[in-house]
Amino acid sequence: MRPGWAAWAGGTAVGVAVVAGLLAGCGRQTSIVQADAARYPTAVHVYENGCITCHGDNLQGGIGPSLRHVGSQRSVAQMERLIDNGSGPMPAYRLPGDEILTAAQVQAVAEWLATKK
């Protein structure tokens, strides 16, 4: 192998990685959920850990229904009750003796979803 080949190859690999990273960065859009992370940190944290798998990274739904406009259909109190107790395939998060979330976390996520009119 010529001297310098390894350095050249290494440099090229770094260059390709940088370009690929830039392209990936350009194509990525902030999700509806991520866009609220600064204003509703607790709610977004809870949602990303417990809800996103069924309701989607853009609230679009999947296993569960879309939550994009849930705030125009349900009150904060109704959503708190649903999250506490579950409904059908939707898990319960605050069964007595099996509290997955605190009352404050449920309230935060319900108040955030209520803004989705």
Binding of ligand HEC by 90 (CB under 6 A): yes
**Binding segment toward ligand HEC, per CB under 6 A, in 1-9, 16-24, 29-37, 48-56:** 48-56
**109 Cβ partners below 8 Å, 6+ apart?**
42, 43, 46, 47, 51, 79, 83, 101
Binding of ligand HEC by 76 (CB under 6 A): no
In the complex, what is the shortest distance from the CB of residue 100 to ligand HEC, in angstroms, rounded to a whole number?
Answer: 8
- DSSP letter for 36, please: G
Give the span between the Cα atoms of 32 and 72, in whole angstroms: 17
Contact with ligand HEC (CB under 6 A) among 12, 85, 87, 115 = 87
